Every structure is written in C-alpha cells, then in structure tokens.
C-alpha cells in the first residue's frame, strides 16, 4: 500500500491519519443548513453506523430567525422554513430530536432574554458585515454553536477525565471557491484542557451535481428556496441557502430574494439608508431594488407578504436601534476581499 508523504498528514488531529477514525471521537457533530450540510450528514450517518458509533452523532443548526429562508403556504401545502427543515432532515437520517441542537443569538431586553437576528445587529453596529469582516458568521453561528456544546462537554469531561474529543463536520466543498478548495479536509481547530475539536469536510470533493444526486437518491426533503416555486422540484431557484439576503450572495440569488421577500428587502434598504453603510459595496440594496423592479431575471415563483406580528416587532426593534447613536461602531470600511465566498455551514 502506498504511503502518503508525512507532510500531507494533518497535524495534531486525534486520528494521526488523513481521515478521522470515528471511534476516536466522543461527539461527531454535523452543521446543518442547506444542501451541502445535509449531504455531509448523509455521509456521516452512514459512516457512524458502519463504525458502530451512531449514538455519538449530533446535528446542529445556528438559527438566524427571520433572515433565513422562510416557510411558506403555497397551493394548499406548507413548505417548512430552513430551521424546521433541518430538524426534519436530522430525523430523516435517524438522529433523534434529543441530539439535534438549535442555537440562537440572544440579548437581554430589559429583564428578559430574547433572540436577536442579523439585521437588528447590523442596525445596532451601524454596519453590514462583508467578506473580510464576516462577524455575522462568527457572532451568530460559530460562537453560538461552540457555546451550545459546552454543557455536553462539561458533562463528558467529568466522566472521561480528559478533554472531550469532538469531530466538527461541515459541508464545505472545494468547487465553491479557491479559498475552500485549499481548506484541509481534516484539521485540528481547537485544543485545550476541556475540548479537542477537529474539523472534517467529508464532501469537499463533491461537485454540485453530485450533491444534488445524493439528495435525490436519498429522498431527503430539501428547501423550497432552491426551486423556482415551492414544490416544483426543478432546483431553478436560489443556488444557496441561509440568510435570504446574504452579503456574499450572487447577483441572481440577491434579486430573487428581493423579489420573494420585498418587506425584508425594504428593511435592509432602510438600514442601508439610515446607517450610510452599504449592504454590498458593488451591489447596494438601493441598486438591487431597482434591478428587481426591472423586467427579466429570476421569477420569484412566490412572493411573501410577511405582514405578521413577528416581522412588525423586528422592524420596530431595528428602527429603535437606528434612532440611537451607534454603540458598537468599528471600522465601517468595506472590503471586496473574496477570502471566503459563503457562510460556513450554509450551502
Ligand atoms: S448567510 Fe451570509 S449574511 Fe448570513 S450569516 Fe452567512 S455570510 Fe453572513
């Protein structure tokens, strides 16, 4: 059997090999949001079963509330939101609901804690995130997921009397960007006295077509946002899924989102106007609204009116922040650095 050169072996990972041995880990956790995450789950569910460690498999979703691809009633049927769908996908592959974790960014409002979603946070900071300052991912996803695992880590740490070994599985793929192509498929990301975390990308080599084929073959439900309209099954809608209006999304996906969610787009526009900071340097919301109003481009398939108390409350909170001096202001400079072309965990 041919040996890999020593330099190609991952450094400091629990398994000293190019691929993790799942039996080496106490927790295998798969981040879910979109087609790539569910493909990674499919892969890991099969591998965990084969290794006899399926009871160590967990799923996690960092919920972004009203920013996420929503649920919709269409032609007499309900199509679930991204948050609802990932829970269904987790169950579909046999992970019990007790091992599916959902995280949220929460803030203290008076004496009660409540969820805070991205556009409110943007209004509070007075700036949108961008490719080089993707605090949306770090503050609303990565740190929340890490914190959500802490109780489990504490519990296992006592039992094991050593750092808890976590395999963090992501659906990132090489063909999404040069940056992602260069990302190791197995690497150590955290090591301290409480937890050792290795990251693994089991679908790194998959093409988009392979991802869709795997989803189709497995029969797992996917989000309607990818289709031209709910239930069409043609995957002629958005190419990616997570925040409907993503600061790193393509022009086509952004126009589609503006057409599907005009109330959300109007709120982004208001924030852009009031803060003076652009949603995207090359494609501000003011321009996107004009493009979406012109003929041509993606047909929304369905237009959500989103006239509901939840949205009213979000809008009121956003406006309250816009009326106050910015508390968290940092640099408002924009960058076009294409370091990472999409959110970790969305796909
Ligand atoms: S989907 Fe886009 S806007 Fe939303 S958290 Fe990820 S990078 Fe940020």
Q: Report the C-alpha dihedral over residues 141, 146, 152, 156, rounded to 10 degrees.
A: 150
Which residues make beta-bridge pairs with 106?
Answer: 115
In the reported structure, the alpha carbon of residue 13 is separated from the centroid of ligand 1 by a whole-number distance in angstroms of: 28
In the reported structure, the alpha carbon of residue 11 is separated from the centroid of ligand 1 by a whole-number distance in angstroms of: 30
Residue 304 has pLDDT above 70, yes or no: yes
In the reported structure, the alpha carbon of residue 82 is separated from the centroid of ligand 1 by a whole-number distance in angstroms of: 14
pLDDT value at residue 176: 86
Q: What is the mean pLDDT of residues 287-300?
A: 96
Q: Of 257 and 344, which is predicted with more confidence?
A: 257
**325 — pLDDT class (breaks 50, 70, 90):** confident
Which protein residue's CA is at the shortest distance from atom 3 of ligand 1? 246
d(CA 237, CA 215): 16
Q: In the structure encoding, which two tokens stand for residue 251, read together?
A: 């022009």
pLDDT value at residue 337: 40
pLDDT value at residue 328: 57
Which protein residue's CA is at the shortest distance from atom 2 of ligand 1? 246
In this structure, are strands 112-115 and 106-109 parallel, antiparallel, or unpaired? antiparallel
pLDDT value at residue 321: 95
In the reported structure, the alpha carbon of residue 68 is separated from the centroid of ligand 1 by a whole-number distance in angstroms of: 9
* Among 179, 221, 170, 172, CA closest to 197: 170
Ligand 1, pocket residues at CB < 6 Å: 129, 134, 136-137, 140, 242-243, 246-248, 343, 346
**How far are the Cα atoms of 25, 52, 151, 169, 233 from residue 21, in angstroms, in the given order?**
8, 11, 24, 13, 36
pLDDT value at residue 346: 52
Q: Of 68, 248, 271, which is best to mutate to test ligand 1, by the most ligand atoms within 8 angstroms of its C-beta?
A: 248
SS3 210: helix
* Per-residue pLDDT tens over the stretch 23-66: 999 999 999 999 999 999 999 999 999 999 999 999 999 999 99
Count other C-beta atoms under 10 Å from residue 133's C-beta.
Answer: 18
d(CA 133, CA 127): 11
Which protein residue's CA is at the shortest distance from atom 1 of ligand 1? 243
d(CA 280, CA 301): 25
Q: Please name the residues in contact with 332: beta carbons below 8 A apart, sequence gap of 6 or more.
A: 126, 127, 276, 277
d(CA 304, CA 74): 10
In the reported structure, the alpha carbon of residue 73 is separated from the centroid of ligand 1 by a whole-number distance in angstroms of: 25
* Per-residue pLDDT tens over the stretch 70-89: 999 999 999 999 999 999 99
Contact 247, 283 (CB under 8 A): no
Residue 324 has pLDDT above 80, yes or no: yes
- Closest ligand 1 atom, residue 346 Cα: 1
- Closest ligand 1 atom, residue 67 Cα: 4
Residue 331 has pLDDT above 80, yes or no: no
Q: In the structure encoding, which two tokens stand for residue 134, read together?
A: 């993707």
Residue 8 has pLDDT above 70, yes or no: no
* Among 28, 35, 20, 10, CA closest to 218: 35
Residue 2 has pLDDT above 80, yes or no: no
Q: Which of 192-196, 278-282, 295-299, 329-333 has the lowest mean pLDDT?
A: 329-333
Count other C-beta atoms under 10 Å from residue 160's C-beta.
Answer: 11
**240 — pLDDT class (breaks 50, 70, 90):** very high
pLDDT value at residue 338: 37
**Helix orientation angle between 208-218 and 35-51, rounded to the nearest 10 degrees:** 60
- With a pLDDT cut of 70, the percent of the chain lying above it is 92
pLDDT value at residue 11: 84
Q: Of 66, 134, 239, 345, which is best to mutate to test ligand 1, by the most ligand atoms within 8 angstroms of its C-beta?
A: 134
In the reported structure, the alpha carbon of residue 294 is separated from the centroid of ligand 1 by a whole-number distance in angstroms of: 26
Q: Of 324 and 220, which is predicted with more confidence?
A: 220
Residue 231 has pLDDT above 60, yes or no: yes
Residue 199 has pLDDT above 80, yes or no: yes
Characterise 226 by phi-psi region: left (phi > 0), alpha (psi -120 to 50), beta (else). Answer: alpha
* Per-residue pLDDT tens over the stretch 137-168: 999 999 999 999 999 999 999 999 999 999 99
Q: What is the mean pLDDT of residues 247-253?
A: 94
Q: In the structure encoding, which two tokens stand for residue 344, read together?
A: 């970790």
Counted residue by residue, the chain has a size of: 347
Residue 217 has pLDDT above 70, yes or no: yes
Which protein residue's CA is at the shortest distance from atom 7 of ligand 1? 343
In the reported structure, the alpha carbon of residue 98 is separated from the centroid of ligand 1 by a whole-number distance in angstroms of: 27
Exposure string of 256-274, with b = 16+ CB inside 10 Å and e = fewer, is bbbbbbbbbbebbbbbbee
In the reported structure, the alpha carbon of residue 128 is separated from the centroid of ligand 1 by a whole-number distance in angstroms of: 10
Q: In the structure encoding, which two tokens stand for residue 190, read together?
A: 């955290």
**132 — pLDDT class (breaks 50, 70, 90):** confident
Residue 277 has pLDDT above 70, yes or no: yes
**16 — pLDDT class (breaks 50, 70, 90):** very high
**333 — pLDDT class (breaks 50, 70, 90):** low
In the reported structure, the alpha carbon of residue 344 is separated from the centroid of ligand 1 by a whole-number distance in angstroms of: 8
**225 — pLDDT class (breaks 50, 70, 90):** very high
Q: Where are the alpha helices (DSSP H) in the chain?
A: 35-51, 82-92, 118-125, 135-137, 143-160, 178-181, 208-218, 251-260, 262-275, 285-293, 309-323
* DSSP code string of 118-184: HHHHHHHHTS---SS--HHHIIIIIHHHHHHHHHHHHHHHHHHTSPEEEEEE----GGG-HHHHTS-
- Closest ligand 1 atom, residue 342 Cα: 7
* Per-residue pLDDT tens over the stretch 102-129: 999 999 998 999 999 999 999 999 999 9
Residue 7 has pLDDT above 70, yes or no: no
- Closest ligand 1 atom, residue 129 Cα: 8
- Closest ligand 1 atom, residue 240 Cα: 1
State the DSSP code for 13. Answer: -
Which protein residue's CA is at the shortest distance from atom 4 of ligand 1? 243
Q: What is the mean pLDDT of residues 163-182?
A: 94
Which protein residue's CA is at the shortest distance from atom 6 of ligand 1? 343
In this structure, are strands 72-74 and 77-79 parallel, antiparallel, or unpaired? antiparallel
In the reported structure, the alpha carbon of residue 268 is separated from the centroid of ligand 1 by a whole-number distance in angstroms of: 14
- Is-above-0.85 flag for pTM? yes
């Amino acid at each position: 059997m041919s040996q890999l050169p020593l330099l190609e072996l991952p450094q400091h990972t629990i398994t000293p090999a190019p691929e993790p041995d799942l039996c080496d880990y106490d927790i295998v956790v798969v981040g879910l949001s979109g087609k790539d995450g569910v493909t990674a789950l499919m892969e890991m569910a099969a591998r965990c079963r084969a290794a006899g460690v399926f009871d160590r498999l967990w799923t996690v979703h960092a919920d972004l509330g009203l920013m996420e691809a929503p649920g919709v009633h269409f032609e007499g049927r309900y199509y679930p939101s991204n948050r609802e769908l990932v829970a269904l996908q987790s169950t579909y592959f046999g992970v019990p609901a007790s091992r599916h974790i959902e995280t949220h960014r929460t803030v203290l409002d008076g004496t009660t804690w409540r969820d805070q979603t991205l556009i409110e946070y943007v209004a509070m900071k007075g700036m949108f995130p961008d490719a080089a300052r993707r605090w949306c991912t770090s503050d609303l996803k990565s740190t929340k997921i890490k914190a959500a695992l802490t109780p489990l880590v504490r519990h296992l740490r006592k039992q094991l009397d050593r750092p808890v070994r976590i395999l963090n599985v992501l659906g990132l793929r090489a063909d999404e960007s040069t940056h992602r192509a260069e990302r190791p498929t197995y690497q150590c990301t955290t090591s301290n006295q409480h937890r050792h975390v290795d990251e693994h990308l089991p679908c790194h080599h998959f093409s988009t077509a392979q991802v869709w084929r795997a989803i189709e073959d497995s029969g797992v439900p996917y989000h309607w946002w990818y289709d031209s309209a709910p239930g069409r099954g043609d995957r002629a809608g958005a190419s990616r899924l997570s925040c409907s209006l993503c600061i790193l999304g393509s022009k086509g996906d952004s126009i589609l989102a503006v057409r599907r969610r005009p109330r959300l787009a109007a709120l982004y526009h208001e924030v852009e106007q009031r803060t003076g900071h652009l949603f995207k340097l090359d494609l501000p919301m003011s321009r996107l609204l004009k493009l979406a109003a012109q003929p041509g481009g993606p047909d929304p398939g369905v237009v959500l009116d989103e006239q509901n108390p939840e949205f009213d409350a979000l809008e009121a909170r956003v406006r309250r922040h816009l009326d106050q001096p910015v508390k968290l202001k940092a640099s408002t400079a924009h960058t076009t650095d294409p370091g990472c072309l999409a959110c970790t965990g969305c796909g």
